[in-house]
Amino acid sequence: MTPRTAPFGRTLCAMVTPFTPTGALDVDGASRLAAHLVAQGCDGLVLNGTTGESPTTTDAEKTELIAAVRAAVGPGVPLVAGVGTADTRHTIELTHAAEKAGADAALVVTPYYSKPPQESVESHFRRIADASGLPLMLYDIPGRTGTRIEPETMIRLAEHPGIVAVKDCSYDFLGTQKVLAATDLAYYAGCDEHILALYAVGAAGCVSTIANVVPRQVAAILAAFDAGDTARATELQLRATPLIEAMMNAGLPGTVTAKALLTELALPAGPVRAPLLPADEKTTAALVAHHKMLTCRR
Distance between CA 32 and CA 69 in Å, rounded?
9
Closest C-alpha to 180, from 145, 147, 217, 155: 155
Distance between CA 108 and CA 105 in Å, rounded?
10
Q: Which of 62, 167, 188, 259 is catalytic?
A: 167
Beta bridge partners of 206: 11, 189
Q: Which of 112, 113, 115, 139 is catalytic?
A: 139
Task: Count CA within 13 A, CB hemisphere, residue 112.
Answer: 14
Establish whether 167 is a catalytic residue.
yes
Look up residue 238 and give its DSSP letter. Answer: H
Establish whether 139 is a catalytic residue.
yes
| Residue 187 identity | Y
Q: Are 80 and 43 in contact (CB under 8 A)?
A: no
Q: Cα 54 to the chain's mean position, in Å? A: 12
Look up residue 161 and give its DSSP letter. Answer: T
Q: Are 69 and 30 in contact (CB under 8 A)?
A: yes
Catalytic positions are: 139, 167
